[in-house]
């Protein structure tokens, strides 16, 4: 079985708005519903679980009913940070009877433009190798700065990957990683891929992502996503 675990436990303080960014609307539809629709439509996703910001569970369930997100099975409580939210989600799946070999596609609630191809590739690569991390090759020149104002060093971009989500693992591997993290005192790794790297350099296979798979963090990102939803590819483009 393949499950989408959508992480919506953040309050979105960096956005500076009155409501969490995952519940802001684009074209009269909440961002999180746009995200859930991508997994709802995919034929190989068997169910959706959401790790939700406290106090917004009823709102989420109401929106899911309104927009016919029939694959939504479970809502789990958000944590104090991303690692804790993922922890709550995977242990919630375990408690609900999901199997050790089931695939879990961990995805940011605020990446509403994830494509069907990216979801399919995550499933295929994880089934083959046990891990799948969505990412794209870094195209920009990278500088190192301690204070954000001045820099004296650069990092070669050829080996750098900008990770996105989904990040896909078998449930047993996620549980094992979070158990090991507890023992090692790792409590605030920023993503599942960084947690795996911090533990013991586990090999992680890269799935090609997309520049369209935008994570909404700022108002500018929201505007970009809205524009992408309305753009059509010119017929002359290959």
Q: In this predicted model, what pLDDT tens digit does every residue of 18-42 receive, in sequence order?
A: 889 999 999 999 999 999 999 999 9
Mean pLDDT computed over 153-164: 92
Q: How far is 76 from 135, CA to CA, in rounded Å? A: 27
Q: Looking at 13-22, 69-78, 83-92, which range is the least confident one? A: 13-22
- Find the mean pLDDT for residues 123-141: 95
pLDDT of residue 168: 97
Cα 206 to Cα 163: distance, rounded to the nearest angstrom: 9
Confidence check: pLDDT of 14 > 80: no
**In 10 A of CB 195, how many CB atoms?**
23
pLDDT in tens, 175-192: 999 999 999 999 999 899
Instruction: Name the CATH superfamily for 2-230.
Output: Spore Coat Polysaccharide Biosynthesis Protein SpsA; Chain A (3.90.550.10)
Residue range 136-160: mean pLDDT, rounded: 90
CA atoms within 13 Å, Cβ hemisphere of 137: 5
Residue 60: pLDDT band by 50, 70, 90 thresholds? very high
pLDDT surpasses 70 at 209: yes
What mean pLDDT comes out for the span 187-209?
89
Residue 124 has pLDDT above 70, yes or no: yes
Which pLDDT score is estimated for 25? 95
- % pLDDT > 70, the chain: 97
Q: Which of 4-13, 19-28, 56-65, 67-76 has the lowest mean pLDDT?
A: 4-13
- How does residue 235 score in pLDDT terms, banded at 50, 70 and 90? confident
Cα–Cα distance list, 209 to 65, 99, 161, 203, 204 (Å): 30, 27, 10, 18, 14
Per-position DSSP letters for 41-102, written without gaps between them: H-TT--EEEEEE-TT-HHHHHHHHHHTT-TTEEEEEE--SSHHHHHHHHHHHHHHTT--TT-
What is the pLDDT of the chain when averaged over all its residues?
93
Cβ atoms 76, 52 nearer than 8 A: yes
pTM of the model: 0.94
pLDDT of residue 188: 92
Query: Hey, where are the domains in the chain?
Result: 2-230
> What is the structure's pLDDT at 12?
65
Contact 207, 125 (CB under 8 A): yes
Q: Which has the higher per-residue pLDDT, 69 or 148? A: 69
Q: Which residues contact 65 (CB under 8 A, 6 or more apart)?
A: none
H, E, C per residue of 171-222: HHHHHHHHHHHHHHCCCCCCCHHHHHHHHHCCCCCEEECCCCCCCCCCHHHH
Is the model's pLDDT at 116 over the cut of 70? yes
């Amino acid at each position: 079985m393949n499950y989408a675990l959508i992480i919506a436990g953040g309050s979105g303080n960096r956005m500076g708005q009155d409501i969490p960014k995952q519940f802001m609307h684009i074209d009269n539809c909440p961002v999180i519903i746009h995200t859930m629709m991508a997994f709802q439509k995919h034929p190989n996703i068997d169910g959706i679980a959401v790790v939700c910001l406290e106090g917004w569970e009823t709102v989420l369930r109401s929106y899911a009913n309104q927009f016919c997100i029939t694959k939504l099975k479970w809502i789990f409580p958000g944590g104090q940070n991303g690692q804790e939210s993922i922890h709550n989600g995977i242990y919630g799946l375990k408690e609900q009877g999901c199997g050790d070999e089931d695939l879990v596609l961990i995805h940011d609630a605020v990446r509403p433009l994830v494509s069907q191809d990216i979801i399919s590739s995550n499933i295929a690569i994880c089934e083959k190798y046990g891990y799948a991390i969505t990412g794209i090759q870094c195209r920009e020149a990278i500088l190192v700065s301690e204070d954000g104002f001045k820099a004296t060093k650069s990092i070669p971009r050829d080996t750098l990957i900008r990770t996105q989500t989904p990040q896909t693992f078998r449930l047993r591997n996620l549980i094992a990683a979070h158990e090991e993290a507890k023992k090692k005192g790792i409590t605030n790794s920023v993503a599942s891929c960084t947690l795996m790297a911090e533990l013991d350099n586990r090999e992680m296979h890269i799935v090609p992502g997309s520049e369209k798979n935008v994570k909404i963090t700022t108002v500018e990102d929201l505007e970009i996503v809205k524009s992408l939803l309305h753009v059509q590819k010119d017929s002359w483009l290959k």
